[in-house]
Amino acid sequence: GAVVSQHPSWVICKSGTSVKIECRSLDFQATTMFWYRQFPKQSLMLMATSNEGSKATYEQGVEKDKFLINHASLTLSTLTVTSAHPEDSSFYICSGGGYTFGSGTRLTVV
């Protein structure tokens, strides 16, 4: 079945810095991948749709300049949280191949 690898599993960064999260499809080619955000004890909320070779599609209320998405190849999508603030601390998880998820990234901004 489809396997999605996500790195890093957790990251701590200082306010004002940028953090990149990678999502790789290991055994399939992903023209589309999805990025979700999950706050503690809440459900997953779609942030954006990552499209290979074109611009990402962001959900309403998600800052495009804050959450930069790049999908330069059929096996790699990246989410960069720019100028991170403590309120950006959350669990970020990607999916591809229909309904397969990466293992998620716990981001803590201090």
Residues that bind another protein (CB under 8 A): 32, 34, 38, 42-46, 49, 91, 93, 95-96, 98-101, 103-104, 106
Q: Compare residues 49 and 80 and give the one whose CB is closer to another protein.
A: 49
Least Å distance, CB 101 to another protein, is: 4
CB-nearer residue toward another protein: 44 or 82: 44
CA 8 – CA 104 distance, rounded (Å): 8
CB of 43 to another protein, least distance (A): 5
C-beta of 103: minimal distance to another protein in Å? 5
CA torsion through residues 2, 74, 94, 12, sign: positive
Of 52 and 82, which CB lies nearer to another protein in the complex structure?
52
φ/ψ of 59, rounded to 5, equals -75, 160
18/42 with CB nearer another protein: 42
Min. distance of Cβ 16 from another protein in angstroms? 26
